[in-house]
Amino acid sequence: MKIESTKVGEFDLFFLHDGEFWLDAGGYFGVIPKVIWQKLVETDELNRTVLKSNPLLVCNGEHNVLIDPGLGGKYNDRQVKIWKIKNQASVIESLNALGLTPEDIDVVVATHLHFDHVGSCTRWDKDGKAVPVFPNAIHYIQKAEWEDATHPDERTKGTYFPENYLPLQENALIKLIEGNKEILPGISVEVTGGHTRAHQIIFIRSGGQTAVYFGGIVSSVNHVKLAYTMAFDQYPVEIMQQRKKLYKRAIAEDWMVILEHDPNHRAIRIKQSERDFEFDTIKF
């Protein structure tokens, strides 16, 4: 298995894998009409397009920080059929390819608690009980995101699965934070909202360089343009507003923008075009 990597100052960044899933392409592009988006992606017979689950591992010799561990494998036959889930290669296999085990992870940071981002935080044990996958890791989650995930409404309950995060609380592995915080020296979070009410992005800063895991703010290169939001975004107007602000900073500070779901691009740089925003691919 090939694990691409790069450095940001003192940090080693490893681009892990945790399988793939397929989403309805109309929902994936929100208000953008099919006559436009059909030129951007391929779809299957059910009008679904493939997305990857792209966790990020950040290491500095002292800490092993895992960002958005991914889908996991706790799905029943109906869920696998709906989302065409393939949990290969898994985040565990990715870690093993680097000579690491789940026990080596000491920090997990989640942009939000949707199943495709934190499903890998727990697994079924032999008795069918959900237990933590990373038993030595503190999991950092926004308090407001936790409240929304543990009290979902009719619209959001289809994306929040309690078995992915309640076992972490039961095992004292949750650290609820409020607002922008430094997790470790050089690693911090900023709340953006948009995709969910308390969605956060993760910054890695060292040696004058900056990488940012954008999570649901820009999940793929197909969502770099301001108006390209998803039907799954709870606050699409807020996403567009946040993108404008973040893009200006990204261009001025030369950010490496890391993408959570793109099948072909793990990281990009944002650039201004005449009418909107575009990207340059970063190759490793």
What mean pLDDT do residues 80-100 have? Answer: 96
pLDDT for the residue 119: 97
What mean pLDDT do residues 46-74 have? Answer: 97
How would you list the strands of the sheet with 107-109, edge to edge?
A: 4-8, 11-15, 56-59, 64-67, 107-109, 138-142, 174-177
Q: What is the mean pLDDT of the chain?
A: 97
The answer to whether 271 and 251 have CB atoms below 8 angstroms apart is: yes
HEC letters along 25-85 = HHHHHCCCCHHHHCCCCCCCCCCEEEEECCCEEEECCCCEEEECCECCCCCCHHHHHHHCC
Cα distances from 14 to residues 2, 17, 171, 212, 267, in angstroms, run 10, 10, 27, 13, 11
What mean pLDDT do residues 81-94 have? Answer: 95
The candidate with the shortest Cα–Cα distance to 70, out of 49, 43, 40, 95, is 95
Q: What is the dihedral of CA 199, 105, 187, 164, to 10 degrees?
A: 10
Helix, strand or coil, per DSSP, at residue 208: coil
User: How far apart (Å, rounded) are the C-alpha atoms in residues 124 and 177?
Assistant: 27
Q: What is the pLDDT of residues 147-175, one digit of tens each?
A: 999 999 998 888 999 999 999 999 999 99
Q: Is the pLDDT of residue 1 over 90?
A: no
Confidence category of residue 88, pLDDT binned at 50, 70, 90: confident
User: How far apart (Å, rounded) are the C-alpha atoms in residues 168 and 206?
Assistant: 30
User: How far apart (Å, rounded) are the C-alpha atoms in residues 242 and 226?
Assistant: 9
> Is the pTM of the predicted complex or chain greater than 0.95?
yes
The answer to whether 228 and 29 have CB atoms below 8 angstroms apart is: yes
pLDDT for the residue 179: 98
The one-character DSSP state at 282 is -
How is domain 4-281 classified at the CATH fold level? Metallo-beta-lactamase; Chain A (3.60.15)
The full length of the chain comes to 284
Ranges of beta strands (E only) in the chain are 4-8, 11-15, 20-24, 48-52, 56-59, 64-67, 107-109, 122-124, 130-132, 138-142, 174-177, 181-184, 187-191, 200-206, 209-213, 256-258, 267-272, 277-281
Express as a percent the part of the chain with pLDDT over 70: 100
What is the residue type of 152? P
Confidence category of residue 201, pLDDT binned at 50, 70, 90: very high
